[in-house]
Amino acid sequence: MDNKAKLLRRLIALFLVLTVLCGLAAAGLYSLQIINGEQYREKAERHLTTTSVVSAARGEILDRYGRALVTNRSIYSIRLDYAYWDHENQNDILLQLTQLIVSSGKAMPTELPITKEEPYAFTCGAEDKAYTALMSYMNGKAKAMKLSSYHVKEAEELDAGTVLRILQTYYNINPSYASGNIRTILDQRYRMDIAQFSRYNPFILIEDVSMDLIAKIKERHDVFRGVNVETSTERVYETDYAAQLLGRTGIIYKEDWAEGENYKARGYSMNDIVGKDGAEYAFEKYLHGQSGSRLVDTDVTGEVTGTVEAAAPQPGSNVVLTIDIELQKAAEESLAAHLPAISGARGGAAVVVNMQGEVLAAANYPTYSQITFNETYETNYNDPLAPLRNRAFKEAYQPGSTYKPMIAIAGLEEGVITPKTLMTCNHYYTRFQSRTFRCMGWHGVEDLTKAIQKSCNIYFYETGYLLTGPKIEEWAHKFGFGEKTGIELGESVGSAAGPENRARMLEAVPTYNKWMPGDVVQSAIGQGDNAMTPLQLAVYTATIANGGVRYQPTILKNIKSYDYSRTIVDNQPTVAEDLELNPNNLAVVQKAMQAVAEEGGTAARTFANYPISIAAKTGTAQHGATAYWGGNGNDHGVFIGYAPADDPQIAVAIVGECAGHGSEMAPVARDIFDAYFQGEGNVDNVPAENTLQR
């Protein structure tokens, strides 16, 4: 009995002890979760080890001789860290920060494609990624906020002012702020949102700030909690030329993060800088490099107690382009000098390739500078002459009479004419009763050489008629017309006139006329449905020059490791098609093109006494889209040529929009030849290829 009593007392004592302990535990939990829960939660969030991404420097871009075109420089940036950021007062803090930054002389970045002042309007078209990103964002926010008062069905129905009012509501921006301050906060809150600012994704507010600004921010660290300094790199454009070729960089668009370009699956951080166009975009996988990581340990007060670099970033590889920046400069400056001097002329382009398809220059007029891209964007975007457009690769034009050498080769190869075939030009082509076609002159009896030299339409109307539409179309594709060339930077396909091409056009637009016999003769002189890019014309010219082998054009010379110690990719010439032309037939056309630049030819005014032999063809290309060309009815001027005629090294193609005649573009070609051959027919004084100046 005594044992049972003792056991009972022990059990009661144990129960009381357990009860007290449970009570203490419950009280502790109550204090931890209820009384001081918010305080401890905040401390817990800060007492952690976080991993942040350390961006790798992008690789450099160089020209074929190792001259630097795009490099990097170290800069200081202002970074917002989510764990320490004052979310409750962020609108006011952002305003103070941006005012401090602007007072230091820096312009704040913006991703909102809306004008800064009323009346508000969109600064880009509906096809622009900045616009589509905003519309995607607004669709989500309008639905989430149930903004029925705006009667919103789709974001695309919103005007710019309404977009700003919705965002002001969503970001809870006090309407008592001045309108300019509201606009400032909107810009930065939108940037933070689309960059997916989070604990795992810090936000770069501004890049390349001065030490003076950093000191002022640090002085107010009690206000600017979570505002830190980061060392990074910024792109430096070492040249004002080749803007469309080099391209630009920028932050990842939201729609490209998990979809579109799908940078997420490719291992990118949301804050990474990526190529947006040009070589920066085309060679992104080489230029980007491999990001590193940094472990940051903090205590319960939020103080950093240690930083460890878990993985060092690996800089991107260096891209060596095929272009010669000095030749590029000469081509751009020549276009800028000659086109404005021609009454009615608008834009233009010039492309230079060597015999293996390497693009040595691809100039556009008008153009812009990547150095001042951000400052001049709105002006360039609204310029009716469209300086942002890469005409060299992405604009297709009727080739006019520059198409005739191809028709001559096709006629000879198919046996419908011979070098001695004679035809009589009396100005009119009267094969069809329903319509009479004309020539620009009265050339009398002529053979093939004279027909090319004088650019006689009559000769090529008849040759085209004898070839037939299907054969013309077949030969056009052999020379690369109507299909992609394969250039890395993106391009227009254009179109090669013929019955199959017209059938495709009819499928898209049933109101087009069916293919008729008259279309055959029109296509034979480079008119009708023909549309070729300057790049396609340059490749075509090189194909004639090098014996009938068409190379796939490229702008990539090679890829070098970040320290230039290794060649990662050595790009080799790629044959797109060997036309296997009869050498005798080709020699006739080559000789005739040489006659174009000699006394009596359509380019003689420019090249008759030139010290280097030139083979050429001029073209006057009619076009019907006068509204597209600003209401200007002038013909386009087109010029193709290669030199030296007896030992070809380079081929050029030049288009002057509304320039009137191809002979007007010949001086641009001469400037290019001058720059390449140094005026004396040699290139001994240029840098050795692949000698990287580092």
Q: Which of 57, 52, 80, 55 is nearest to 308 (CA)?
A: 52
Span(s) in the chain for CATH 3.40.710.10: 325-375+389-677
pLDDT band of 680, cuts 50, 70, 90: very low
Q: How far apart are CA 139 and CA 143, in angstroms?
A: 6
Predicted local confidence at residue 241, as pLDDT: 97
Question: CA 608, 612, 613, 615: dihedral to nearest 10 degrees?
Answer: -90
Structure confidence at residue 151 as a pLDDT band (50, 70, 90): very low
User: Residue range 395-405: average pLDDT?
Assistant: 96
Q: Is beta strand 636-643 parallel, antiparallel or unpaired with respect to 650-656?
A: antiparallel
Instruction: Give the span between the Cα atoms of 691 and 66, in whole angstroms.
Output: 6
pLDDT in tens, 558-598: 999 999 999 999 999 999 999 999 999 999 999 999 999 99
Share of the chain above pLDDT 70, in %: 86
In this prediction, residues 69-81 reach a mean pLDDT of 90
Q: Which of the four pLDDT bands, split at 50, 70 and 90, describes residue 445?
A: very high
Q: How confident is the model at residue 308 (pLDDT cuts 50, 70, 90)?
A: low
pLDDT at residue 539 greater than cutoff 50: yes
Say whether pLDDT at 599 is over 50.
Answer: yes
Q: What average pLDDT does the segment 292-308 reach? A: 56
Query: Which superfamily does CATH assign the domain made up of 49-321 to?
Result: Penicillin-binding protein 2a (Domain 2) (3.90.1310.10)
Statement: residue 128 has pLDDT above 60: yes
| From 20-29, 204-213, 318-327, 328-337, the region with the lowest mean pLDDT | 20-29
- Residue 208 CB coordination number (10 Å): 14
User: Does residue 302 register a pLDDT over 80?
Assistant: no
pLDDT for the residue 287? 95
- Where does the pLDDT of residue 634 fall: very low under 50, low under 70, confident under 90, or very high at 90 and above? confident
**Which of these ranges, 40-54, 390-404, 646-660, has the smallest mean pLDDT?**
40-54
- pLDDT value, residue 691: 47
- As a whole number, mean pLDDT of residues 78-82 equals 89
Beta strands in 415-487 (DSSP E): 423-425, 428-429, 437-438, 444-446
Percentage of the chain modeled with pLDDT above 90: 59
Query: CATH 3.90.1310.10 spans which residues of the chain?
Result: 49-321
Q: Tokens 């359509």: give the residue.
A: 602
User: Residue 409: its pLDDT value, please?
Assistant: 98
**pLDDT tens for residues 227-257?**
988 777 889 999 999 999 999 998 888 788 8
Predicted local confidence at residue 60, as pLDDT: 96
Q: 87 versus 309: which is more confidently predicted?
A: 87
Model confidence at 117, in pLDDT bands (50, 70, 90)? confident
Task: Return the residue matching tokens 């010669």.
Answer: 324
pLDDT at residue 554 greater than cutoff 60: yes
d(CA 279, CA 58): 12
CA dist list (Å): 651 to 239, 467, 530: 24, 27, 21
Tokens encoding 451: 């027909």
> What's the pLDDT band for 148 if we cut at 50, 70, 90?
very low
Q: Please provide the average confidence, as pLDDT, over all residues in the chain.
A: 87
How far apart CA 296 and CA 309 sit, in angstroms, is: 9
| pLDDT at 96 (0 to 100) | 95
Confidence of residue 58 (pLDDT cuts 50, 70, 90): very high
DSSP label at residue 35:
I
Among residues 372, 364, 317, 357, which one has the least CA distance to residue 61? 317
Q: If you average pLDDT over residues 361-383, what whole number do you get?
A: 93
For range 192-197, the mean pLDDT? 88
684 pLDDT above the threshold of 80? no
Which CATH code for domain 325-375+389-677?
Answer: 3.40.710.10
Q: What pLDDT is recorded for position 310?
A: 62
Instruction: For residue 300, name the pLDDT band (cuts at 50, 70, 90).
Output: very low
State the helix-helix crossing angle for 457-467 and 404-414, rounded to 10 degrees.
40
One-letter amino acid for residue 118 of the chain = E
The rounded distance, in Å, linking the Cα atoms of 339 and 205 is 42
**Does the model's pTM come out above 0.85?**
no
Tell which residue, 395, 389, 461, has the closest CA to residue 423.
461
pLDDT band at residue 694, thresholds of 50, 70 and 90?
very low
pLDDT digits (tens, 9 = 90+) for 502-535: 999 999 898 888 999 999 999 999 999 999 999 9
